[in-house]
Every structure is written in structure tokens, then in C-alpha cells.
Amino acid sequence: MILKFEFTGLFLFFALCFISCNKKETPTKPNIIIIYMDDLGYGDVSYNGASKLQTPNMDAMAMAGMRFNNGYATSATCTPSRYALLTGVYPWREKRAKILAGTAPLIIGTDQMTLPKMLKQEGYQTAIIGKWHLGLGNGNVNWNQLVSPGPNQVGFDYSYILAATQDRVPTVYIEDGKVVGLDPNDPIEVNYQKNFEGEPTGLENPELLTMNWHHGHNSSIVNGIPRIGFMKGGEAAKWSDIDMADHFLNGIQKYIKSHKGKPFFLYYPMQQPHVPRTPHPRFEGLSELGPRGDAIVEADWCLGELKKTLEAEGIIDNTLIIFSSDNGPVLNDGYYDDSDVKNGDHLPSGALRGGKYSLFEAGTRVPFFTYWKGKIKPGVSDSMVSQLDLLSSLAQLVGSEVRTADSLPLLELLLGQSDEGRDEMVIEATSRTAFKRGDWVMIPPYEGPAVNDKVQIELGNDSNFQLYNLTEDIEQQNNLAALKPDKLQEMLTAFEAVRGDDYGKIEKLELK
């Protein structure tokens, strides 16, 4: 009798346990690494058809993970895309989310929800090692003191960054708000308006240059490369351009080794293949495309080394990797580095129209894949997903309730367990916006040149509405706006429902 009762009791206990364990799936807390390229185009990876350069490590991970053919940055330039990635908020909601000078103040509010903050709340260790470009301080930064607020005030426990871009001053690394290797007797001064007396510039001292400027980029000279903005002092702290990739990679590897005991979120925004392209000499000539291709090969090598580190540390099975790029490609972005001359028949945008700065597809549609060994099955998806969605999706993964209105929870899509993606989204390029929905994209009329002559990229400006069906016309050659007024009206209405009507629309142009 007693035995029987004990048996039934035990059975009940296990049964209840089983039910309750199954009711709520325990959130998993893998390490999360976001690898974010700078200006890497849809067609710049060999898994998307590039043949004049090889990206074996990107290819292998993309093939073993989930590849997204319709993966998007929110914007065709850097700062707004990074803003959206980290905040889950459309960048056109934040007027300051434009390409920032190296002296610009931080544009993420310190009270704002961010991806690293959300993960920190869930017990993650958080770090950024790489390019920042979201502003620092509150204006008037003194680079010789603690530079704050910055990444550490918006959710990163650890930060090791380049402030803006590789072509902008200050050309120094900043670790947790302090300029690395700064000699207090040689303070740094930075100014974007005027030069410091006696300091050479790209404009006045071409004899000092090892790389020539094509447009812009003619202010202070660092390591023979003329930059945007003026800088004085800080000699010992200046970075070595050719060692930058190794430098960040070393930091990444050190971080992984010393933080593998607890879940970590590592944001690894590489500087390649943004200008100035300065691959380490050991990568010279490894592509057929000159420095731009070589820089991509270098970045691919970094990805391979990162993977080896995760394997060696025994955590590759417990690490979700997300790989993408902040905007589309550009060949000549202001320096004579032969990237356009040597490009040959390489298609940095693949079959897509436009490139960096463009409202056409290549501005925002970028390489995008997820990789998690043993967890994500190899696959490819045509569903639409934006980097904007990472905040809510990763919140789902780790069991956080945090969501933002713009960021859709698409975890299952990212893990290859569903093909449900976005129905629609607003894309942005240099403060202009367009709308995608299903197979369609609608670009409102915008004033301005059709082509930016300097960078040789079609921007998407037209005095008329543009409407393309991407399934039938991936190259955006057939403007259907005049032929399909009802579709156009439907797109415009849906666009304005999200965007409002303050998108710089040209009032004189009525829809019908």
C-alpha cells in the first residue's frame, strides 16, 4: 500500500515536472557575435557569384548556415544602419542619424534601449571591438580626457573602437573612453572646420602622400594618407592602417578567450572594404581587384581566424554568428586606389542596381547570413529581413520581453525554422526614403542628380514616382509607376502609414 502510494506520488512528481518543463521552453543563451562589414556589396562574396576574389570563410559559413537573399541594412550609408542595428529604431526617426564627423556627439540616447543593453539585462557580457561611427561625447570632446558618453554608456561593458571611419580623424583607437597609447605631453586636438597652424594637409602637401585623394579627403595626413578633418598631436597614439585588421582581430580573440565562461555578446564591426583600403601587405594581390578586393580577402581571413578561435576554445557549438554589411558597395569613394580601374567585370552589387548612397536595391540589400553549428541547418531564404529586426529577434532568443515597434521578432526565420519574414519596410539613403512591400518597391520622386558623378553610382533620384516589381525585374529597369497607378497608390498609402508624409516629397508632383 505504502509502496504503491510512493510509486504513484513519484510518478505524479515526474509527470508534473515533465509538463512544466515542456510548457515554457527555457531560453537559450548562446554567445552572440555580430560581424558587420563596412561597404561590402551583395556581389562581393564568392557565394553570391564573385569570381575575381575568393571569400572561402564567408562562403563556408554562409553555406553551413542560413543565407538570406533578401537581407537588408536599413540604410545605404553607415551611421544610420548602425543606429538601426543597435537600437531597433528606423534611423529616419532620428534626424541626426546621418554620416557623422569624427567630432559628432553620440546620437544614441543613454536612456534608450539597445541590443547590448537588452542582452546585458539577460546576463550577457557585452563588447564592441571595431568601428563605431555613432558619435561620442556631448559635443566638444576633449580627446585627452575620458571620452563619454560613448559605447560604454549605451550598453557595452567593454569597448575598443575607431571613433568614426578609417578616413576620418581622430585616427586613434579608443578603449573604454580613453585614447590608447596617448602621450599626455602630446595632446590631441581635432577640428573639422579649420586646420591647425603649420600642419600639412593633403591639399597643400601632395609630396607627403602615399595615397592620393580623388574627392574630399584632403585634410590632415596620417601615415601618408590624407583624411577628412584636421588633427594635431597624439603622434604615439596614431593607428597603423595596415595593421588595423590584425589589431581588431587580436582584440576579438583575447576577448573570447577571457570571457568564454559566461555568455557574451560581441559586436565586431570590421573596417573593410571602406576607404582607405589598406590591407596588410601579406594580402596584396590575393584578389584580382586591387586593394578593395584584397581588403575583402583580408576580412575573410579574419572571419576564418575567428572561427578557429571559437573552435579551439570549445565554444563553436554554443555561438550564434550573424554576418552582414552596413551598406552597399562603392569603388571610388574618394581615393585613387585603382579599385575602379582594376574592377574589370566584377559586380560588387551582383545583379542589383545602384550601390552605396543609392535608393536602388544595391544600397541596402547586402550579404546576410546566420551560422550556429549544430543548431541552424544549412538553408537559403528569400524572405525579407532587416538588420532592424535583430533587437527583437535576439530578445526572443534569450527570453527577454524587450521589443521595439520597428524591430520585428523574426527569430524563427533567422534560425531557419520558419520562412515568415517581413511584409514591408522603409529603406533609406542619404535622408531619402523608399518603400518595399512583397515583390514591389516604390521610390518617391526626389530632386537631385540621377547619378553621383564622383562615385559613379545611380542614386535613385527621379522627378517621377518609380515602381518596380523585383521578382520580375531584379535589375530595376522597368518603371511600372505609370502603368500601374493602383499599385502605386497602394504602395504610397502603405508607405505614408509608416513613414508619415514628411519624407521630402516634392509637392508639385501629384500622384495622378
Handedness of CA 125, 129, 134, 137 (dihedral sign): positive
Least distance (Å) between residue 96 CB and ligand NG6: 14
Distance CA 51, CA 47 (A): 9
What mask, x for binding ligand NG6 by CB under 6 A, covers residues 74 to 93? Answer: ---xx---------------
- C-alpha grid cell, residue 373: 553549428
- Nearer residue to ligand NG6 within complex by CB, 177 or 355: 355
Size of interface with ligand NG6, in residues (CB under 6 A): 17
- Nearer residue to Ca ion within complex by CB, 39 or 337: 39
- Nearer residue to ligand NG6 within complex by CB, 214 or 403: 214
Distance CA 180, CA 352 (A): 41
What mask, x for binding ligand NG6 by CB under 6 A, covers residues 334 to 373? Answer: x---------------------------------------
- Three-state secondary structure call for residue 127: strand
- Nearer residue to ligand NG6 within complex by CB, 215 or 282: 215
What mask, x for binding ligand NG6 by CB under 6 A, covers residues 22 to 41? Answer: ----------------xx--
- Nearer residue to Ca ion within complex by CB, 57 or 166: 166
Least distance (Å) between residue 36 CB and ligand NG6: 11
Contact partner at residue 380 from Ca ion, ligand NG6, none, CB < 5 to 8 Å by partner kind? none
Least distance (Å) between residue 439 CB and Ca ion: 27
Where are the strands (E) in 16-75, listed by range?
A: 31-37, 66-72
Q: Quick one: which H or E segment has residue 386?
A: strand 379-386
Name which of 266, 256, 304 is nearest 128 in CA terms.
Answer: 266
Residues 411 and 376 sit within 8 Å (Cβ to Cβ): no
- Nearer residue to Ca ion within complex by CB, 137 or 269: 269
- Nearer residue to ligand NG6 within complex by CB, 161 or 315: 161
Contact partner at residue 167 from ligand NG6, Ca ion, none, CB < 5 to 8 Å by partner kind? ligand NG6
Least distance (Å) between residue 74 CB and ligand NG6: 13
- Three-state secondary structure call for residue 91: helix
Residues in contact with Ca ion by the rule CB under 5 A: 38-39, 78, 326-327
**333 belongs to the binding site for ligand NG6 (CB under 6 A):** yes
**73 belongs to the binding site for ligand NG6 (CB under 6 A):** no
What residues contact residue 299 under an 8 Å CB cut-off, 6+ apart?
37, 40, 245, 270, 272, 273
3-state secondary structure 227-277: CECEEECCHHHECCHHHHHHHHHHHHHHHHHHHCCCCEEEEEECCCCCCCC
Handedness of CA 249, 255, 258, 260 (dihedral sign): negative
**262 belongs to the binding site for ligand NG6 (CB under 6 A):** no
Least distance (Å) between residue 363 CB and Ca ion: 11
Which part of the chain contacts ligand NG6 (CB under 6 A), choosing from 49-57, 154-162, 211-219, 489-497? Answer: 211-219
Name which of 458, 445, 456 is nearest 505 in CA terms.
Answer: 445
Distance CA 404, CA 87 (A): 8
The per-residue b/e assignment along 225-240, b for 16 or more CB within 10 angstroms, e otherwise, is bbbbbbbbbbeebbbe
Q: How far is CA 50 from CA 343, 345, 346, 456, in A?
A: 11, 10, 7, 20
- Nearer residue to ligand NG6 within complex by CB, 343 or 466: 343
Q: Which residue of 32, 275, 302, 322 would you call a contact of ligand NG6, by CB under 6 A?
A: 275
Which residue sits closest to ligand NG6, CB atoms considered?
216
**380 belongs to the binding site for ligand NG6 (CB under 6 A):** no
Distance CA 281, CA 292 (A): 13
Residues that bind ligand NG6 (CB under 6 A): 38-39, 77-78, 99, 133, 165, 167, 215-217, 228, 274-275, 327, 333-334
